[in-house]
Structure 1
Amino acid sequence: MVDGVPLVFPEVNPEAMSGIKVGMKKGVLIANPICSTIICLLAATPLHRHAKVTRMVVSTYQAASGAGAAAMHELELQTREVLEGKPPTCNIFKQQYAFNLFSHNAPVLENGYNEENDNNVKVSATCIRVPVMRAHAESVNLRPEKPLDEATAREILKNAPGVVVIDDRSANHFPTPLEVSNEDDDAVGRFRKDLSQEGNHGLDIFVCGDRVRKGAALNAVQIAELLL
């Protein structure tokens, strides 16, 4: 983050762009949040507005698209090579990506966190690169100040912009990266009470979103629309 440069996504903080319009005499920079933050907060923000979330524990499962087209190509190439019994080509990442998981490839800081998940708010994050093409997935644990039960959270997110709820326990149908690939909306589901917390002061959800669409390009278009 840079002072004076608003970090914006319209469903969460459109007020950050107040006073900025096309035609201003001086140039203005507006930043897109990182994709994993957008995908998480599209689901978490409506719940925060209702119950004031004080702490989040997030594990992200990030697709190849977050590292660019070359990483997506390498994942395809490695998959073929491994299935053919050949050693995998590792140009983008320093280790085999196909059929594997590893810590996000951002630099690791002295405190053990990646630059990807370092922050100064009450958020504890673990970021993992997974062999998926386009869409990120995130496991999110929320601690709200006010009680928040599963049914209320589900109803809030059914009415939230940019979010669809997929939460069918009987069919074991919950959000998947494949299902949201090439889609504009986040999918959220797997609503569960955090049994380690007293009362209704803990909630677990699972969120998936297309890193290329809402995680980047669509959000930029929506910012531009706010300027007009």
Structure 2
Amino acid sequence: MISVCLATYNGEKYLEEQLASILPQLGSDDELIISDDGSTDETLAIIERYADQDQRIKFFTGPGQGVIANFAFAINQSQEEYIFLADQDDVWLPEKVQTTLDYFQTHPEIELVISDLVIVNEQLEVIEPSYFDYRNVKLGFFHNIVKNKYIGAGMAFRSSLKIRILPIPSKVPMHDMWIGLIAAYRNKSALITQPLTLYRRHDNNASEINTKASFFQQLKWRCAISYVLFKRIFFHA
């Protein structure tokens, strides 16, 4: 029923804690897809140790082209009905999977959900109790093109959305923005206001809460993603 897509790269410091939070929530027929993008630390050893003990873990060597391509590759390997995205340095709260599945089952029209997160530091101490409140998260296509609030660490979607998501264009700013906007255009996304993830912030995060990119760089990104989005939407209309 569930495919968890976890993209890794030099994640030895926090990976075991994340794996320990995900695996107990999965059923015997679920899968944890791990795509590694060329780690040079102990990440591979950690993955191999867990995979030897748990057949639900499916390990792949990623494309080596960065975090967006790595997540796209992992999503492409998924086989189950519901796809969850996972970052290597976060921690899932124990009720995350069941709460998300319950929402999908009671809202059959919804293709994608984003659940709230608690922003924490390296020691999992609370920085902000609600990512949604801190970032003023709202649904909406044009709203999130102008200022993206969609976050992959809280994201899950139905496998039927894969045909619209993949391939993820190389020029988009981040995979979660692309996926969120694809669902938002169809008005089939929803927010779960209950925090279900400890969203860890540290010096080596692959993403930023508040971008440091210049105005012109952000404008360039918005133009690029708008162009490829409307091409994809038109093609799949």
TM-score of the two chains, using structure 2 as the length reference: 0.26
TM-score normalised by L of structure 1: 0.27
Q: Which has the higher contact order (CA 8 A, sep 6+)?
A: 1
Higher share in helix: 2
Larger radius of gyration: 1
